[in-house]
Amino acid sequence: MKIIKRNGSEVDFDINKIIQAVSKANNSTTSKELSESQIRDIAEFVEFKLQKADRAYSVEEIQDIVENQIMAQGAFEVAKSYVKYRYTRSLIRNSNTTDNQILTLIECNNEEVKQENSNKNPTINSVQRDYMAGEVSKDLTRRILLPLDIVQAHEEGLIHFHDSDYFAQHMHNCDLVNLEDMLQNGTVISGTLIEKPHSFSTACNIATQIIAQVASSQYGGQSISLTHLAPFVDISRKKIQKSIIDEYTQMGINITEQQISDITEKRLREEIRKGVQTIQYQVVTLLTTNGQAPFVTVFMYLNETDDPQEKADLALIIEETLKQRIQGVKNEKGIWITPAFPKLIYVLEEDNIHEDSKYFYLTELAAKCTAKRMVPDYISEKIMLQLKKDKNNEGHCYTCMGCRSFLTPYVDPETNKPKYYGRFNQGVVTINLVDVALSSGGNKEKFREILDERLDLCYRALMCRHNRLKGTLSDAAPILWQHGALARLKKGETIDKLLYGGYSTISLGYAGLYECVKYMTGKSHTDPEATPFALDVMQHLNDATKAWKEKENIDFSIYGTPLESTTYKFAKCLQKRFGIIKGITDKNYITNSYHVHVSEKIDAFKKLSFEARFQALSPGGAISYVEVPNMQNNIKAVLNVMKYIYENIMYAELNTKSDCCQVCGYEGEIQIVTDKDGKLVWECPNCKNRDQTKMNVARRTCGYIGTQFWNQGRTQEIKDRVLHL
């Protein structure tokens, strides 16, 4: 059995330490209320609790159990002594917790940090450096930068103040990179002027450098569009054509226009192949200043351009992108695996959704890619145009900023035209809806009262995020604010004008709608009798952000939080505050945003249809998924799901399995089993290998694909998932 110490390291449980601690408390009293057998009983009860649990308990949780058991024995003086000892030790620890946290990071001994981010390897120096800086930032945030009640609410799991490890710096969350502006008008990278590229391959190379620079200047996801690369295909075409004519002229060989065209297209496709390969391989091999590959999304939308030539060239880029992703990348053993990045989004539209559509061949290719590599994800142009309407009542289709964070529709007051690229999100604070429900005791009037109190807490926390960015000079991140990624401000100019009027967004996240509704109504939110309450909660969140927006002229929006490590944190906090409540707090995770619970049996089409109603109420970001088996031999079924997405829901994805074992070469689904310590671990079903360094596991956990391993809460959530198809 394992326990997690206060510094985050994981160690074996030692019953003797419980006996020693209780004995010391007992000996410090004059009456010595506990006998040796009673002390032994207390220690064995703790051991029993840990054996029955399917996760590692923290020291604080174990001490709570000990304290309760001492009082259950009627030894109140001993309990007082034990509490006093805990308090004294707490004062000593609180004098400086940061040093110890950093030391455990350096020694790779911090279990919580190891499992915090499924795409960061904490044994690598650059990752450790980022985590060390993060610990300092979190310490400053707790002690100086945030009000005490917000810090306490965050620590108790009432809310989650995201990314406090970056809050000390003036950094924002995620964005849509204006790649078009930077490529067409030039940019500056590390003090070097980069002019408009003269070929597609050069444009791709510059794009990857931009991605790396942007990732090092913010902490969230970013998105680029392949449409912005499409104009450079024709530039290369003309360049190649001229080169061919010159070659054959110098050799004195006559060549027809058709031959020139054929040779040109052959060489052009090779350049496109190399350019796309540059993006794929550079993105997965780059390490940004935070020690990980850039969290980048690549957008594939044919209708984003009206020019017939550009659209045809865009189709060539999309085709090559999908083909290369189907192939995957080789791991250190030379095995083709599923890479985490870049994430791909493919827009379903009239030109590609029907069998007789001009670009249906791309959709078939996308289906094969999804079946093999879990991407692309799908946006329905049809549904998005209905949901994302600007002040002129015109619908728009555009990519999210990373995995699911969507900008709200915006019309540039200077041009009276819609604008998306160059905009960003200021940050996120998430409300724990499960805690609101449990705190209300099931009383709906009290629920609304507590909900409003927590929303006010979130509002003030979000304003802290906003005010931290306010006054930031463009010099803080030149690639973002001065050289076109987000703006072209002057040196010394603040970014303040970009924080207001809807240019950027700021997000109220929410988590655990399923458990919230289940506790308040006794039914899943998919039950027709409970759905109205779920929708009412969502509407109330929207009404709150609308009021904040009118008050502050800041674009607050509702965001379906992609819980990763926070799902475990919230679950532990709920268990500590309310105990184990069947169907509510008896798991080591809570449900992401509005999602149907992972264990609920529902078919793919009903799930997508149901969740579509909630996507409309999450304008700041949402994504739905369906869990499917290996679909590589059933592409027709994948296409049927894609067609359903097009007709019914704005943004969705299919979760497939594509793992491999480096020991025996098995390809398929690596399974989750329980080891002798009661811990969930990954195991190859073929050779029983459990060494996570000798396997490649890819699972989608929060919009992005994770390729490392997850904390016990998220691992249990993955294990509990049922198939929807």
- Local structure of 607: helix, strand or coil: helix
Among 577, 548, 474, residue whose Cα is nearest residue 188: 474
* Per-residue confidence (pLDDT) for residue 386, from 0 to 100: 97
* Per-residue confidence (pLDDT) for residue 86, from 0 to 100: 73
Share of the chain above pLDDT 70, in %: 92
For residue 494, give the amino acid letter. Answer: T
- Residues 24 and 85: beta-carbon distance below 8 Å: yes
Tokens encoding 195: 């002019």
Chain segment 630-642, per-residue pLDDT in tens: 899 999 999 999 9
110 pLDDT band (50/70/90 cuts)? low
State the Cα–Cα distance between residues 697 and 674, nearest whole angstrom. Answer: 17
* Per-residue confidence (pLDDT) for residue 335, from 0 to 100: 84
* Per-residue confidence (pLDDT) for residue 57, from 0 to 100: 81
Chain segment 374-392, per-residue pLDDT in tens: 999 999 999 999 999 999 9
For residue 291, pLDDT beyond 70: no
240 pLDDT band (50/70/90 cuts)? very high
- Residues 348 and 638: beta-carbon distance below 8 Å: no
Q: Which of 171, 174, 631, 642 is catalytic?
A: 174
* Per-residue confidence (pLDDT) for residue 497, from 0 to 100: 97
Task: Identify whether 401 is a catalytic site residue.
Answer: yes
Task: Identify whether 425 is a catalytic site residue.
Answer: yes
DSSP string, 441-469: TT-HHHHHHHHHHHHHHHHHHHHHHHHHH
State the Cα–Cα distance between residues 79 and 518, nearest whole angstrom. Answer: 37
C-alpha dist (Å) from residue 525 to 531, 542, 606: 5, 18, 13
For residue 529, pLDDT beyond 90: yes
* Per-residue confidence (pLDDT) for residue 715, from 0 to 100: 86
DSSP string, 412-440: ETTTTEE--TT-BEEEEEEEEHHHHHHHH
Per the rule left: phi > 0, alpha: psi between -120 and 50, beta: everything else, 587 is beta
Task: Identify whether 1 is a catalytic site residue.
Answer: no
* Per-residue confidence (pLDDT) for residue 6, from 0 to 100: 63
Task: Identify whether 392 is a catalytic site residue.
Answer: no
* Per-residue confidence (pLDDT) for residue 92, from 0 to 100: 53
State the Cα–Cα distance between residues 709 and 118, nearest whole angstrom. Answer: 5
| Per-residue DSSP letter, 559 | E
Is the pLDDT higher at 562 or at 193?
Answer: 193
679 pLDDT band (50/70/90 cuts)? confident
Q: Which of 221, 422, 621, 703 is catalytic?
A: 703
Q: Which of 201, 223, 425, 557 is catalytic?
A: 425
Give bridge partners of residue 378 from the DSSP assignment: 346, 652
* Per-residue confidence (pLDDT) for residue 173, from 0 to 100: 95
State the Cα–Cα distance between residues 30 and 19, nearest whole angstrom. Answer: 19
State the Cα–Cα distance between residues 510 and 542, nearest whole angstrom. Answer: 11
Give bridge partners of residue 223 from the DSSP assignment: 176, 297
For residue 12, pLDDT beyond 80: yes
- For 19-28, what is the mean pLDDT? 90
Tokens encoding 369: 């890619």
Among 418, 559, 430, 561, residue whose Cα is nearest residue 502: 418
Task: Name the most confidently modeled range: 121-130, 559-568, 688-697.
Answer: 688-697
Which residue in the block uniquely carries the two structure tokens 């400086």?
96
- Residues 271 and 240: beta-carbon distance below 8 Å: yes
* Per-residue confidence (pLDDT) for residue 255, from 0 to 100: 93
549 pLDDT band (50/70/90 cuts)? very high
Task: Identify whether 71 is a catalytic site residue.
Answer: no
331 pLDDT band (50/70/90 cuts)? confident
446 pLDDT band (50/70/90 cuts)? very high
Share of the chain above pLDDT 90, in %: 70
State the Cα–Cα distance between residues 150 and 154, nearest whole angstrom. Answer: 6
E strands, 5-102, are 10-12, 57-58
- For 405-422, what is the mean pLDDT? 95
For residue 124, pLDDT beyond 70: no
Which residue in the block uniquely carries the two structure tokens 């790396």?
212
State the Cα–Cα distance between residues 700 and 713, nearest whole angstrom. Answer: 15
Chain segment 45-88, per-residue pLDDT in tens: 988 888 877 667 888 888 888 988 998 888 888 888 888 777 66
Is the pLDDT higher at 721 or at 712?
Answer: 721
H/E stretch holding 472 reads: none
For the chain, what is the total number of helices (H) and then of strands (E)? 24, 27
For residue 94, pLDDT beyond 60: no
State the Cα–Cα distance between residues 370 and 378, nearest whole angstrom. Answer: 10
Q: Regarding beta strands 411-412 and 417-418, do their DSSP bridges make them parallel or antiparallel, or are they unpaired?
A: antiparallel
Chain segment 480-493, per-residue pLDDT in tens: 999 999 999 999 99
688 pLDDT band (50/70/90 cuts)? very high
Instruction: Find all residues with CB under 8 Å of 606, minimum gap 6, and list them.
Output: none
32 pLDDT band (50/70/90 cuts)? confident
Q: Which of 374, 400, 403, 660 is catalytic?
A: 403
Q: Which of 204, 369, 401, 650 is catalytic?
A: 401
Which residue in the block uniquely carries the two structure tokens 């499960």?
434
Instruction: Find all residues with CB under 8 Å of 648, minimum gap 6, and list them.
Output: 380, 383, 608, 609, 612
Sheet holding 695-696, edge to edge: 667-668, 659-661, 695-696
State the Cα–Cα distance between residues 114 and 708, nearest whole angstrom. Answer: 10
* Per-residue confidence (pLDDT) for residue 56, from 0 to 100: 74
Is the pLDDT higher at 531 or at 128?
Answer: 531
- Which of 99-113, 497-511, 545-559, 564-578 is least confident? 99-113
Which residue in the block uniquely carries the two structure tokens 């909660």?
537
Give the side-chain half-sphere CA count within 13 A for 261: 3
E strands, 59-170, are 159-161
Q: Which of 301, 359, 519, 559 is catalytic?
A: 559
Provide the terminal-to-terminal Cα distance of the chain, rounded to the nearest Å. Answer: 37
H/E stretch holding 345 reads: strand 343-348
The pTM assigned to this predicted structure is 0.86
Task: Identify whether 126 is a catalytic site residue.
Answer: no
Q: Which of 9, 173, 593, 658 is catalytic?
A: 173
Buried-exposed string 245-273: b where 16+ CB fall within 10 A, e elsewhere = eeeeeeeeeeeeeeeeeebbeebbeebbe
218 pLDDT band (50/70/90 cuts)? very high
- Local structure of 579: helix, strand or coil: coil
State the Cα–Cα distance between residues 456 and 69, nearest whole angstrom. Answer: 38
99 pLDDT band (50/70/90 cuts)? low
For residue 414, give the amino acid letter. Answer: E
* Per-residue confidence (pLDDT) for residue 676, from 0 to 100: 83
State the Cα–Cα distance between residues 573 and 563, nearest whole angstrom. Answer: 15
H/E stretch holding 259 reads: helix 257-285
Tokens encoding 448: 């609304």
Task: Identify whether 109 is a catalytic site residue.
Answer: no
* Per-residue confidence (pLDDT) for residue 711, from 0 to 100: 76
* Per-residue confidence (pLDDT) for residue 397, from 0 to 100: 98
134 pLDDT band (50/70/90 cuts)? confident
Tokens encoding 607: 């799930």
Average predicted confidence (pLDDT) for the chain: 91
Q: Which of 67, 564, 611, 717 is catalytic?
A: 564
Task: Identify whether 594 is a catalytic site residue.
Answer: no
- Which of 6-20, 204-218, 295-309 is least confident? 6-20
- For 116-133, what is the mean pLDDT? 62
Task: Identify whether 568 is a catalytic site residue.
Answer: no
- Residues 706 and 340: beta-carbon distance below 8 Å: yes
- For 663-668, what is the mean pLDDT? 88
Among 579, 711, 568, 575, residue whose Cα is nearest residue 10: 711
* Per-residue confidence (pLDDT) for residue 112, from 0 to 100: 53
Give bridge partners of residue 159 from the DSSP assignment: 431
Among 236, 167, 164, residue whose Cα is nearest residue 199: 236
State the Cα–Cα distance between residues 23 and 408, nearest whole angstrom. Answer: 61
Burial class of residue 491, CB neighbours in 10 A (0-12, 13-18, 19+):
exposed
Tokens encoding 647: 């007709």
